[in-house]
Amino acid sequence: MTQETIFARLNTLLERNQMNKMHGALLMLNVVDIAEFMEELEANRLLKFFRILPKDIAADVFAYLDSEKQQELIELISDGEINDLIDDMYLDDTVDFLEELPAVVVHRILQNTNAEKRELINRFLKYPANSAGSIMTIEYAELQENSTVAQAIETLRKTGLDKETIYTCYVIGTGRQLLGFVELRHLILAKPDEIMTNIMNSNVISVKTTDDRETVADLVRKYDLLSLPVTDNEGRLVGIVTVDDIIDVLDAENTEDMELMRGLLPSDDEYMKTPVATLFAKRIPWLLILMVSATFTGMIITHFSDVLSTTGRLGVLLTACLPMLMDTGGNCGSQSSTLVIRSMALGQIGFTDFFQVWWREVRVAFLVGLTLCVANVARQLLLYTFTDGVTIDTVTVTFVVSFAMFLTVIIAKSLGCILPLFAKKIKLDPAIMAGPIITTIVDACALTILFTIATKFM
């Protein structure tokens, strides 16, 4: 049966109130699919459906609902049910979900949670946004340094099912110090009376709660980890970050980079769920800054206006090439900045590679500039053959524009690699340097170059 057929069947059963017949259909669905099905239900059915979910999956399903639906459901269920739900949910999911709720709802939920859990939640809510602490979970498997393999396996049997992952178990000392890790596959193959310190790998990679989530993602990517332990400032194990959350981090970081590269203020919200006013607010700041900075390009044109007006038709022909010149410059610059920014994000280059990167870009720019130059001479002369005719004047315009373009390409590609590298050096996000800023600077350069050459030759 396809997912659609199962959804249809569930809907029919809901309509006929045959809740007892639902379990068969539910068994064919993953918790993610069940959450997807629930997204479409209105309040009355949502509550009925949620209440027949098997207890062992209800919390998982809830964690996969989007935050609006979570809030809707929370407002429908009883205090007792809230308590059960929070009890069954992984702490990182609970915190994610609470962060999206209005304060009054959070208050009600925390009131219905036991003191210990409440304290934990409050501590988690205080980790800085985008820190390792804010994305970690406390449902990890820990083993004491002096316990035997047999004892360890017994511990995992008892508590393993409540842990987010038991595939990498962390070994801690008496003060909860993180000492090493043991993979479950090695544990089940080890001799029962071996003790942890002898079989563990003490070469353990970890982060601190305050480290940035990007650092966490970089380590998971580099070392192909399934989970990464998080310690406090004293080196005590306090949580783990699992790889599924890292995939979300990577998605978020990439979205952020793409948004910054296009002059958008980044946010974690889904496009379709962001109010129009917020979309507006994300976009207008950079547009205003760039519009105002375009005053300079305007002033350059006005400044050279004498050249333009005395040359009559020549001025018009020169003006007609402005969009081509500026767009080519902008495109060249943003090509370079995109490659450099992306390589930095993937940890392939850094500020120390400055001269190597710049020298590559200059060589590429030379080739690109030369090719475009030749192509443009051909293009403009062909155009003039059918319009103004090929005269000394049009040939001059052609060569002035082409030469200006060559220089613009060299400058654009140089800026395209230099600006992001410098941004990184002064701890700015390099992605900001990609798009609109470079375009604006390159525009100003292109115009100055063009008019300087034009005043020399025309």
Count the helices and strands in the chain (H runs, E runs): 23, 6
Site string for its own copies, 217-236 (x = CB under 8 A): ---xxxxx-x----------
Nearer to its own copies, 160 or 173 (CB): 160
Residue from the set 182, 357, 404, 421 that interacts with its own copies by CB under 8 A: 357
Cβ proximity to its own copies: between 128 and 347 the closer is 347
CB of 108 to its own copies, least distance (A): 29
Q: Rank residues 124 and 451 by Cβ distance to its own copies and give the closer one.
A: 451
Q: Rule CB under 8 A: which of 395-454 touch its own copies?
A: 435-436, 439-440, 443, 447
Report H helices in 224-349.
Answer: 243-261, 276-303, 305-310, 313-320, 322-345
Stretch that binds its own copies, among 14-22, 49-57, 89-97, 246-254 (CB under 8 A): 246-254
DSSP for residue 208 = E
- Residue type at 67 in one-letter notation: S
DSSP for 36-89, written as a single string: HHHHT--HHHHHHHHHHS-HHHHHHHHHHS-HHHHHHHHHHS-HHHHHHHHHHS
Instruction: Take residue 407 and report the two structure tokens written for it.
Output: 């220089």
CA 42 from chain centre, in angstroms, equals: 32
CA 230 to each of CA 156, 204, 401: distance values in angstroms, whole numbers, following the listed order: 20, 11, 58
| Interface size with its own copies, residues (CB under 8 A) | 112
**Tokens matching residue 134:** 């804010």
Half-sphere exposure of 406 (CA within 13 A, CB side): 16
User: Rg of the chain over CA atoms, in angstroms?
Assistant: 31
Binder among 57, 77, 110, 324 for its own copies (CB under 8 A): 324
Distances (CA, A) of 341 to 103, 212, 421: 38, 19, 8
Q: Is position 195 an interface residue for its own copies (rule: CB under 8 A)?
A: no
Q: How far is the CB of 426 from its own copies (least distance, A)?
A: 22
**For residues 81 and 388, which CB has a smaller minimum distance to its own copies in the complex?**
388
43 binds its own copies (CB under 8 A): no
Q: What is the rounded CA–CA span in Å between residue 202 and residue 172?
A: 11
The residue within the footprint of its own copies, chosen from 22, 47, 52, 301 (CB under 8 A), is: 301
- Asked if 2 touches its own copies (CB under 8 A), the answer is no
Contacting its own copies within 362-381 (CB under 8 A): 363-364, 367-368, 371-372, 375-376, 379
Q: Which span (15-23, 100-108, 172-180, 284-292) binds its own copies, by CB under 8 A?
A: 284-292
Q: Is there binding between residue 150 and its own copies (CB under 8 A)?
A: no
CA distances from 194 to 150, 152, 188, 191 (A): 8, 10, 12, 6
Least distance from C-beta 175 to its own copies, angstroms?
22
Smaller CB separation from its own copies, 111 or 287: 287
Q: Quote the CA–CA distance of 377 and 393 in Å, as a whole number.
A: 14
Please say which residue, 112 or 398, places its beta carbon nearer to its own copies.
Answer: 398
Q: Which of 144, 255, 396, 452 binds its own copies (CB under 8 A)?
A: 255
> What would you measure as the largest C-alpha separation in the chain, in angstroms?
96
Binding segment toward its own copies, per CB under 8 A, in 83-91, 101-109, 320-328, 391-399 = 320-328
> Least distance from C-beta 399 to its own copies, angstroms?
16
Site for its own copies in 51-110 (CB under 8 A): none
Residue 116 as a binder of its own copies (CB under 8 A): the answer is no
Identify which range of 80-88, 100-108, 170-178, 243-251 contacts its own copies by CB under 8 A: 243-251
Cβ distance to its own copies smaller for residue 239 or 330 = 330
CA distances from 270 to 100, 266, 273 (A): 13, 11, 5
Supply the minimum distance, in Å, between the C-beta of residue 38 and its own copies. 15
**Vertex 372: Cα angle to 368 and 375 (nearest 5):** 145
- The least distance separating its own copies from the CB of residue 104, rounded to whole angstroms, comes to 29
240, β-bridge pairs: 137, 229
Answer yes or no whether residue 44 interacts with its own copies by CB under 8 A: no
Structure tokens at 119: 């304290």
Instruction: Give the C-alpha separation, 314 to 316, whole Å.
Output: 5
Residues of this chain, 167-186, that bind its own copies according to CB under 8 A: 167, 184-186
Cα–Cα dist 58/77, whole Å: 13
User: Which of the stretches 8-16, 79-87, 160-168, 208-216 binds its own copies when contact is defined by CB under 8 A?
Assistant: 160-168
How far apart are CB 300 and its own copies at their closest, in Å? Answer: 8
